[in-house]
């Protein structure tokens, strides 16, 4: 892997100041649930790429603008400053998405000149939560992908097929979909989101520079044994599903390598506790409350804390063509216990590491940020 040398190999550190992070894969939900989710997202991130798999999905520019407005209203309802948090919007691709919609979406700019809609999400139909309206055949998207390549719009991909064994869906997707897609659209900007296998790491490293990947914090610290041994832990059930230890190790190596091919995307996906603990529990891990802290743990474990900032705060922004944030957050090596539940609209959500200890604490967050010296 291409690596940048860390400036300091110390593992034992008590404080860590990093550029304010961005999350390039965030489920903010809708309505009252959004108000709850933003209480955690706002303090940890300057920008969040909002996933469009609502009910109904965000399939048009008009719907994306309406969703963004609801997010901004939720910030205000929380007493949070909208100038300190930017929702980055996406469109949900379907078999009926038109190239004209891409042109419309691309034309929209924020006050600072950055795009309002920064990407389009490709869900294979039936692959994950609220993906029933997704794409049934990638060839149906080719006219849209041609336009996206032309205008520089990012393609965000849930990189799994639906016809393979659940532990093999990502590698099969690479062979059947990714390789032909990259061949046919050589300059299309692509994010393989939440990669979960050794094969995906190897593919991204071998792919052209326009193909990069996001990695979640839960795939860095858990393997499938954590979810299944000693009884099923439904709150660790996610898609892509947790894999064997060899894959977790490959993801840790990729994330901490210093390669700009990999960056933060939490895929924080809250579901009400009663919908996870049911006969047909839904997929998704809620990590917004402790994600940066967990990434810090994972990087510290392998002695790579000095590479945390690039992964969390630089490489993703670079890939999306956005300016790097100039503000910081400060973490301290101080343990805290995650509550067993958090408010989630009118329900509750059981968070990642519920009732367990997290080793790092954010002591100065996005709400009280300060400028970097550089």
SS percent in the chain: helix, strand, coil, step 5: 35, 20, 45
Catalytic residue among 22, 23, 267, 310: 267
Token readout for 14 is: 């008590």
Q: How far apart are CA 330 and CA 366, in angstroms?
A: 9
Token readout for 133 is: 């309206």
CA atoms within 13 A on the CB side of 366: 25
Q: How far apart are CA 61 and CA 25, in angstroms?
A: 19
Which backbone phi and psi does 132 adopt, to 5 degrees? -65, -25
Q: Token pair 């599903």 is at which residue?
A: 241
Residues 6+ apart with CB under 8 A from 164: 172
Q: Token pair 């691309």 is at which residue?
A: 106
Closest alpha carbon to 288 in 311, 266, 255: 266
Q: How far apart are CA 300 and CA 11, in angstroms?
A: 6
CA atoms within 13 A on the CB side of 292: 32
Helices (H) and strands (E) in the chain, counts: 14, 16
User: What's the sign of the alpha-carbon dihedral 12, 15, 20, 23?
Assistant: positive
Q: How far apart are CA 236 and CA 224, in angstroms?
A: 9
Token readout for 106 is: 């691309």
Active-site annotation holds for 267? yes
Residues 6+ apart with CB under 8 A from 180: none
C-alpha 175, offset from chain centre? 23
Crossing angle (nearest 10°) for helices 291-301 and 245-255: 90
- Give the residue numbers annotated as catalytic, written as ranges: 267
């Amino acid at each position: 892997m291409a690596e940048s040398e860390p400036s300091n190999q110390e593992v034992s550190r008590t404080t860590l100041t990093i550029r304010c992070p961005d999350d390039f894969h965030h489920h903010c939900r809708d309505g009252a649930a959004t108000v709850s989710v933003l209480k955690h997202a706002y303090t940890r991130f300057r920008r969040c790429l909002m996933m469009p798999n609502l009910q109904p999905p965000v399939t048009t520019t008009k719907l994306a603008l309406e969703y963004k407005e609801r997010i901004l209203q939720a910030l205000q309802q929380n007493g949070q400053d909208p100038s300190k948090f930017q929702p980055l919007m996406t469109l949900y691709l379907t078999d009926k998405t038109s190239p004209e919609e891409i042109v419309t979406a691309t034309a929209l700019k924020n006050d600072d000149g950055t795009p309002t809609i920064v990407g389009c999400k490709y869900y294979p139909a039936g692959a994950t939560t609220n993906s029933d309206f997704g794409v049934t055949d990638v060839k149906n998207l080719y006219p849209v992908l041609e336009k996206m390549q032309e205008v520089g719009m990012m393609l965000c991909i849930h990189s799994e097929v639906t016809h393979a064994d659940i532990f093999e869906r990502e590698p099969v997707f690479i062979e059947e979909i990714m390789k032909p897609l990259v061949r046919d659209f050589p300059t299309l900007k692509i994010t393989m989101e939440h990669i979960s296998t050794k094969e995906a790491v190897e593919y991204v490293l071998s792919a052209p520079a326009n193909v990069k990947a996001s990695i979640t914090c839960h795939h860095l610290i858990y393997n499938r044994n954590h979810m299944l041994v000693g009884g099923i832990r439904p709150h660790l059930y996610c898609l892509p599903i947790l894999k064997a230890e060899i894959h977790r190790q490959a993801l840790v190596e990729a994330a901490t390598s210093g390669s700009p091919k990999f960056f933060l995307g939490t895929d924080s996906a809250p579901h009400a506790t009663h919908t996870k603990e049911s006969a047909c529990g839904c997929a998704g891990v809620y990590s917004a409350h402790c994600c940066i802290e967990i990434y810090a743990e994972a990087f510290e474990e392998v002695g790579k804390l000095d590479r945390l900032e690039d992964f969390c705060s630089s490489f993703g922004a670079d890939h999306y063509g956005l300016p790097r944030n100039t503000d910081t957050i400060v973490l301290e090596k101080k343990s805290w216990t995650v509550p067993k539940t958090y408010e989630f609209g009118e329900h509750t959500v059981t968070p990642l590491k519920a009732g367990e200890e997290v080793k790092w604490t954010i002591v100065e967050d996005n709400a009280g940020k300060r400028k970097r010296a550089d």
